[in-house]
A and B are shown apart, each in its own frame.
Chain A
Amino acid sequence: MKKLILGTAITALTAGAALAEGHSVVRLGTEGAYPPYNFINDAGEVDGFERALGDELCARAELTCEWVTNDWDSIIPNLVSGNYDAIIAGMSITDERLEVIDFTENYTQPDPSAYLALADADVDLSSAVIAAQAATIQASYAAGEGMTVLEFATPEESVAAVRAGEADAVLADRAYLAPLAEAEADLAFTGENVLIGGGVGMGIRQSDTELRDKFTAAIQSMKADGSLNALIEEWEIGELF
């Protein structure tokens, strides 16, 4: 009898080991330059809403996770090339991206984008010069609306352009702009919010359905017990589920 128990214990162990072999360590790729979603804190570590979320998801899915920062431009090519296993970087779920990678269930509501302008300026958005980060959904949205788009390499520069009078307003994720509007007296939101992207989800390789399902299950469990809403509130990301 004892032997039998030992036997099953061993099978369970080895089965566990075999399962884990695919992903003994799950590497999470992020940008580290997009507060409050993800940023590098004073101590030089990845911090923010997605850090807290990712750590919790890994705990629930019983995975050992590791954080990696990667430039935004090459974040998807590096995922499909296998340099990390998941993207958790405030990435909206879009049809374009779905052609190349899979997403878990969204962990935020669709994030509105907003216009930020000088507080004392009266901006007519239909004829305004709009600053945006190059190659973002906001840049292509503004171009599609017929606005004159001024594209900068980093979000920081696009905000600086509004201050310098180069652009009338900057269009970016509201969650990114909100702390700036709050902290800087000379900047304020203008116009209506616009809904451009879908919700934010984790990007996973299309061939890696097992990992996708694990994370989706973990996200669902966090949605169910309200812990996801608590995090969204803590980091002021946007609407609750």
Chain B
Amino acid sequence: MTCWDVISDYGLRSLGFGERLLPRDDFTICKQVVLIGSGMIWNVYFGTVALLAGFFLAVGTAVAKASANPLIRKPAEWFIFVFRGSPLFIQFFFAYFAFVSLKGAVPALGGLTAAWLGAVIVLFLNTAAYSAEIFYGALMSIPKGDIEAADAYGMTGWKRFRRITFPTMMRLAWPSYTNEAIFLFHATTLVFFSGFPSRGQMGDALYYANYFADKTFNPFVPYPILACYFIILTLIVIGIFGLVNARLNRHLPQQNRGKLRLRLNLIR
């Protein structure tokens, strides 16, 4: 069995395609690399969906936290506090518990107990809370002069937010937000590890790494493979976020760009 065969058999195993059974003997490096890589599909899926959806909730929550009206501010503060103040793993536990009970009451919501939906919701709320705190910090440090200048031009409300507040907030928050994205992708490994059940042996990268460690009793091969995958994923995330950062700062003089990046690494 060449490595190409292994790729066609197990490359999409984490989604349920290819061989039905996981390898039971002859655990070659190739098999481990392919299956763990196959599991990465889930990690990327969880991270990307939660991050994209979480972004919008985070911006909304950050603005709500900055609101003068306590009816809007208090819920935002509590939401951020609860999700930032407790370990993700406990959040998974309660979410799964709640989803199972909900399924009993409303059978139409059955999909929630599956990882592809339920875990995404938890990760979405979690990253929204963390990002909201970052965005709120950035919102608070927008230079007063920017807002005053907008007022002078007669901009108010939505227009001022869209043209002035929001872009500046993004620019200030972006380096910390990059860190949050990295943390989120790492957190996706917890989904099957202590959160949701894996169905039909379809799991994420850590699930398969764990499978191999359990079969070969040698943790020194599968976990470093997993680590390599994540280092690559982290580099890709940093690269993409770097491009966005460059775009956010494209109007600034060349020298200031670097400086912004460094100073703002500190918020998270």
Contacts and interface: CB of A to CB of B under 8 A. Distances in A.
Do A and B have CB atoms closer than 8 angstroms in the complex? yes
Nearest to A129: B199
A interface residue count range (under 10 / 10 to 19 / 20 to 34 / 35 or more): 20 to 34
A76 B215 CA distance: 10
Contacts of A100: 216-218
A135 B217 CA distance: 12
A151 B210 contact: no
B199 A77 contact: no
Interface in B201-237: 201, 203, 207, 210-211, 213-219
Contact of B194 (A97, A144, A149, A153): A153
Contact of B198 (A73, A97, A101, A151): A151
B24 interface: yes
Interface residues of B, number: 28
Contact of B214 (A101, A135, A144): A135
Contacts of B147: none
B201 A165 contact: no
Contacts of A180: none
B215 to A, nearest CB: 6
A165 B194 CA distance: 19
A74 B201 contact: no
Contacts of B192: 134, 151
A148 interface: yes
B213 A73 contact: yes
Contacts of A101: 217
A31 B69 CA distance: 54
A144 B214 CA distance: 17
A29 B201 CA distance: 29
Given A77-B217, A97-B217, A143-B21, A166 B100 contact: yes
B22 interface: yes
Interface in A136-170: 139-140, 143-144, 146, 148-153, 157, 161, 164-166
Contact of A150 (B24, B193, B197, B218): B197
Contact of B210 (A73, A146, A149, A161): A73
Contacts of A165: 103-104
A234 interface: no
Given A73-B210, A166-B100, A153 B22 contact: no
A172 B21 CA distance: 20
Given A76-B217, A80-B217, A135-B214, A164 B104 contact: yes
A226 to B, nearest CB: 35
A73 B193 CA distance: 12
A148 B199 contact: yes
Contacts of A143: 20-22, 200-201
A96 interface: yes
B22 A150 contact: no
A146 B20 CA distance: 8
A131 B199 CA distance: 9
B197 A131 contact: yes
Nearest to B93: A157
A161 B192 CA distance: 15
Contacts of A134: 192, 198, 207, 210
A101 B199 CA distance: 31
Nearest to B220: A77
B113 interface: yes
A73 to B, nearest CB: 7
Ranked nearest first, the 8 interchain pairs of A and B with the lowest CB-CB distance are A135-B214, A76-B217, A164-B100, A100-B217, A150-B197, A151-B198, A152-B197, A153-B194
15 contacts: A74-B219, A96-B215, A97-B217, A100-B216, A100-B217, A101-B217, A131-B197, A134-B207, A140-B22, A140-B24, A148-B199, A148-B200, A157-B197, A164-B100, A165-B103
